[in-house]
Structure 1
Amino acid sequence: MHMTLYYDGHCPLCLAEIRFLAERNEAGLLSFVDVCADDFSSAEVGVSSCQILLDNMHAKLADGTVLVGADVFAAAYERAQLPRLAWLFSRPWLMPLWRLVYRVFATHRERISRLIGPGLLAWVTRRYSC
């Protein structure tokens, strides 16, 4: 089933993840929407503001189901044909950990992205530019 990921186009770390997934999107099961684009409306996802989307990763499945936070990653990795990551992020017994880690990450995303985002984005861009 197709899935649309909503991401912060101003965040280098977010861009690195999106570029990585886009390169693995051979089956065409993922679409990517920058919530910072001028023509984007948060109503597309069914939320009241773009800030909600910036505070937590969101994805929307073709059937209208919206995934939020850590739950997005297993679904995205599965569609990007990354079975080991999909398996790791889909284990029910690990979900409390992933949700906690994601909550901490989301709270400090801008600071973390400033520290490691540019380097990671440069690496992904070099790795997949050929």
Structure 2
Amino acid sequence: MKLRIFYDSLCPLCDAEMQHIKARDIGDDIELQDLNQSDFASKFPEIDFTVANRILHAQRPDGSIITGLDVTYEAWKVVGKERWVSLLRCSLVKPFADKGYLFFAKHRYRISYLLTGKKRCESGTCSR
């Protein structure tokens, strides 16, 4: 495992992106962990669910935690497709992209509804 991502599977857009990344993970280097699993707190006591539910979190093999668009960039880097998101990490763009991400994260269910017609995934209604 090169990256463990903690994500909200109930968000249609979030789930779609994670499944999109995982489909390109030929080496099985990314581990997806759903924040909504019933035993999340006992499996990952080092991750604050409330904070992770507000901003995307990931854990590297050394235990360090990264958040937000840094997770997105690193996930795409692991699967060899970081070029399309690397602009978001450039020093001039990064502050604006990070603010945009925080807006998206806060309003992800409304934005998902506008773009997909689904506000929240129910069991088995998105990618699973």
* TM-score for both structures, normalised by structure 1: 0.80
Which amino acid is the alignment partner of residue 81 of structure 1? Answer: G
Partner of 2:32: 32
Q: Structure 1's 16 and 93: CA in aligned 2 closer, same or farther, altered over 3 A?
A: same
SS at match of 2:46: coil
More helix per residue? 1
The answer (yes or no) to whether the contact 2:21–2:76 under 8 Å persists in 1 is yes
Q: Alignment length, in residue pairs?
A: 121
Unaligned segments of structure 2, at least 5 residues: none
1:72-94: per-residue Cα shift (whole Å, max 9, x none)? 11111101221312422332322
Partner of 1:128: none
1:85-117: per-residue Cα shift (whole Å, max 9, x none)? 242233232211211110111121111112224
SS at match of 1:6: strand
Q: Give the percent of matched residue pairs that are identical in Structure 1 and Structure 2.
A: 28
C-alpha root-mean-square deviation of aligned residues, in Å?
2.4
Which amino acid is the alignment partner of residue 92 of structure 1? Answer: S
Rounded Cα–Cα distance in structure 2 between residues aligned with 1:47 and 1:25:
24
* TM-score for both structures, normalised by structure 2: 0.81
Unaligned segments of structure 1, at least 5 residues: 126-130
User: Structure 2 matches for 1:37-48, cutoff 5 A?
Assistant: 37-41=37-41, 44=44, 46-48=46-48
**Cα distance, 1:33 vs structure 2:** 0.4
Partner of 2:52: 53
